[in-house]
Each structure stands twice: as structure tokens, then as C-alpha cells.
């Protein structure tokens, strides 16, 4: 079942407003959306395109395995007719990454100017959305082009997604490019964080509409996934046939010792009693208890005991000595 986009209404609104400015003012605006992997950058971009329905979208992303110069533009050109572009055919061969093109024909500066001219021609009178996905993974020539496009004042929304520069192939260059984008007048800058427990709950309610998932379950799933939408959708895909109870985490995420401690909790034992039963220190018991609270998503030891009873996650103490 498709999961609805949750918790990004403000970001979507801001990007829609930016698009409206581009449409009515005829000027260019960059928008940079950063976030860790799987936080929903691409999802937000799709939502923006769906909400605004621009007639012209030029979209490209990095080729994951071996970035080559002008990957972004090559991806764009692969999807758009290029017969009447105002640049020499051999330069175009360069920009579309034709393998037979003679090397060293253009200086990097000249090629960059031609790349900007190409995009300008493709955008025409606009308005357009230029989507640059995963800036952090782009080749340096594409990064320069993106920075130039931000300054070129095309009638376009330049919508860029990126993981934080630390994750980039060229961290400094990526950071510099982002700074140039964000420094343009009127630029939009957004950072997508993790979803909170309530937002995770909203998604669970949607997926398990029949079984009214509890706030405790939402909390457990939130802890288990760190509120990362990608991890959450993966978990939902795996568990969807099993029903919501499994979402809190399978018992086999626990170590054998944690299961023993959980079994003791289910019998209502205190930490001191558990320590004695398992022949370990009270301090060690405390560590096991806090770990298994985290793993089971239980808010208290009573909740963990209940979880053990419901999920069969506890084991009887076997090593008393
Ligand atoms: N706000 C959200 N609400 C619900 N689901 C979401 C949300 N954002 C993302 N998802 C889901 O999480 C998954 C990952 O999202 P997405 O691919 O957009 O992340 P990303 O930030 O682009 O990741 P990457 O850095 O790997 O490109 C998708 O399956 C998407 O449907
Ligand atoms: Mg993405």
C-alpha cells in the first residue's frame, strides 16, 4: 500500500510559493533540499511536481557508479529533443558524453559556457523546473554548471536535493556549490529531518486502518526506525503480511542474555533478583534492561514484561549460579 507523504506540508507549501514567484515574476529561484539518506527528499520533489504541474521539467541525477563530466546535463539531454540547440555539434557531443568525441577540444570554461547556453535554450521563455537530484553524488563539472545556473537568472525553479556535503564525493566542492545556491537572492533552503513518533503513527494509521495502532506502537516503531521514512517503508513492506504487532520488533533482535532478562521481567522480578538469578551484577542487569527497553520500544519495564508475554520474547533464566 502506498504510504502518504507525512510531515512535509510546510516544505511543500514553501516550494509551491517559490514556483508561483517563478511563474509570475519570471525570474529564477534556487531551492536546496538536504537530508540524510531516505529522509524523503525525492518524495518531496515528486510532490512539488505533482502539485505544481509545470509544463517543462528538466530532470537529471548522478550516475551512481562512475560519474562522468556533465552527468546532469547528459541525463537531461537524453530526455529532450536536441536538434535546434544553439551550440556547435561537437560541443553537444561532448555534453551528451558521446564516447567517440575527440578529447581536449574545448577548455573547461568554454564547455561550461556552452552547457549554460544549452540549458538556457532548453528552458526558453519558461517557466521550467530544473530538478537536480543528489547533488552530493554529481561530478565536479555538473556542480559548476548547477552553480552557474543559479546565477544565470533563468525563468526556472532550480530544485536541488542533496545529502549533507560530508557524504559527497567532493565534500568541499559540494558545500561550496550549496552555499552559492543558498546565497542567491530569494533562495529556498530546507533540511529534512527524521519524522517524529506522531508522524510515524499517522503512517501506521493509514497502513493499518482496520486495527487502530496505538501510540505505544508508533513510539516503538519510531525508535526502531529512527523516524527515517525509508527505514519505515522497508519495515512496513516486510511486516505488512504479519499485522502491526510485529512492527515493534521481533524477539530475535534481542541477545540471548537480553531474552533471559526479559523473561525475568515478565515474572515480575526486581533487578536485584534478576542479578542473583543470572549470576551477574545489578549494574549489568541495568544495562540489559535499558537495551531491551530500547529494542522492544517499551516505555517501562512493565511494558517490556507485557511485550514479552504478548510476543513470546522472554526466555527462562538458565544460568543461575
Ligand atoms: N514524508 C514522508 N512520509 C511518508 N513516507 C515517506 C516520506 N518521505 C519519504 N517517504 C518514503 O520513504 C522512502 C524514501 O524516500 P525518498 O526516496 O524520497 O528519500 P531520499 O531522501 O530521496 O533518499 P536518498 O537520499 O536515498 O535519495 C520512500 O519509499 C518514500 O515513499
Ligand atoms: Mg532521493
Label residue 143 by pLDDT band (50, 70, 90). Answer: very high
Q: Which three cell numbers stand for residue 291?
A: 537495551
Q: From residue 219, how far is each of 163, 222, 224, 238, 252 by CA, in Å?
A: 26, 5, 9, 19, 19
DSSP letter assigned to residue 241: T
SS3 133: strand
Q: Which residues contact 278 (CB under 8 A, 6 or more apart)?
A: 257, 260, 261, 264, 285, 317, 319, 320
CA 232 – ligand 1 centroid, Å: 9
Closest to 79 measured CA to CA, from 61, 104, 99: 61
Q: Considering the chain, what is the average pLDDT of its residues?
A: 87
Name all residues whose Cβ lies below 6 A of ligand 1.
Answer: 3, 5-8, 35, 37-43, 134, 163, 203, 229-230, 233
Q: Which atom of ligand 1 is nearest to the CA of 195?
A: 1
- The residue-averaged pLDDT of 77-105 equals 80
Cell of 201: 503513527
Quick one: cell of 144?
A: 559548476
**The ligand 1 atom nearest the CA atom of 43:** 18
Distance 217 CA to ligand 2 centre (A): 28
Q: Which ligand is nearest to the CA of 38?
A: 1
Of 51-60, 77-86, 168-177, the range with the lowest mean pLDDT is 77-86
- Give pLDDT tens digits for 17-72: 999 999 998 789 999 999 999 999 999 999 999 999 999 999 988 776 666 778 89
Q: pLDDT tens digit string along 257-283?
A: 888 898 898 888 999 999 999 999 999
Please report which confidence band the pLDDT of residue 92 belongs to, taking 50, 70 and 90 as the band edges: confident
Percent of the chain with pLDDT over 70: 90
Cis omega (within 30 of 0) on the bond before 127?
yes
- Please tell me the number of the ligand nearest to residue 233's CA: 1
Q: Which are the contacts of 138, defined by CB distance < 8 A and separation ≥ 6?
A: 61, 62, 67, 71, 72, 132, 146, 169, 174
Task: Report the SS3 class of residue 116.
Answer: helix
Residue 17 and residue 144 in contact, taking contact as beta carbons nearer than 8 Å: no
HSE (CB half, 13 Å, CA atoms) of 33? 28
Amino acid at each position: 500500500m502506498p504510504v502518504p507523504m507525512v510531515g512535509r506540508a510546510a516544505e511543500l507549501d514553501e516550494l509551491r510559493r517559490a514556483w508561483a514567484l517563478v511563474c509570475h515574476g519570471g525570474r529564477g529561484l534556487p531551492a536546496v533540499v538536504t537530508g540524510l539518506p531516505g529522509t524523503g527528499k525525492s518524495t518531496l520533489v515528486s510532490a512539488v511536481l505533482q502539485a505544481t504541474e509545470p509544463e517543462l521539467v528538466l530532470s537529471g541525477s548522478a550516475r551512481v557508479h562512475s560519474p562522468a563530466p556533465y552527468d546532469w546535463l547528459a541525463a537531461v539531454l537524453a530526455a529532450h529533443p536536441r536538434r535546434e540547440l544553439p551550440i556547435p555539434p561537437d560541443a553537444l557531443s561532448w555534453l551528451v558524453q558521446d564516447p567517440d568525441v575527440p578529447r581536449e577540444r574545448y577548455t573547461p570554461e568554454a564547455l561550461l559556457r556552452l552547457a549554460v547556453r544549452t540549458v538556457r535554450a532548453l528552458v526558453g521563455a519558461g517557466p521550467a523546473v530544473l530538478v537536480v537530484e543528489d547533488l552530493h553524488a554529481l561530478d565536479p563539472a555538473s556542480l559548476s554548471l548547477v552553480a552557474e545556473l543559479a546565477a544565470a537568472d533563468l525563468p526556472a525553479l532550480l530544485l536541488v536535493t542533496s545529502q549533507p556535503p560530508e557524504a559527497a564525493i567532493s565534500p568541499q566542492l559540494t558545500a561550496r556549490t550549496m552555499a552559492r545556491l543558498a546565497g542567491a537572492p530569494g533562495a529556498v533552503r530546507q533540511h529534512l529531518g527524521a519524522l517524529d513518533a506522531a508522524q510515524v503513527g499517522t503512517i501506521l494509521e493509514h497502513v493499518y486502518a482496520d486495527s487502530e495502532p496505538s501510540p505505544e506502537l508508533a513510539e516503538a516503531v519510531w525508535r526502531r526506525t529512527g523516524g527515517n521514512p525509508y527505514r519505515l517503508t522497508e519495515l512496513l513492506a516486510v511486516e505488512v503480511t504479519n499485522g502491526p504487532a510485529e512492527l515493534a520488533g521481533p524477539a530475535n533482535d534481542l541477545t540471548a542474555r537480553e531474552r533471559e532478562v526479559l523473561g525475568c521481567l515478565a515474572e515480575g522480578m526486581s533487578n536485584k533478583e534478576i542479578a542473583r538469578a543470572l549470576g551477574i551484577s545489578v549494574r549489568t542487569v541495568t544495562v540489559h534492561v535499558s537495551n531491551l527497553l530500547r529494542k522492544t520500544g517499551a516505555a517501562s519495564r512493565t511494558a517490556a514484561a507485557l511485550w514479552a508475554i504478548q510476543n513470546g520474547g522472554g526466555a527462562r533464566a538458565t544460568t543461575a549460579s
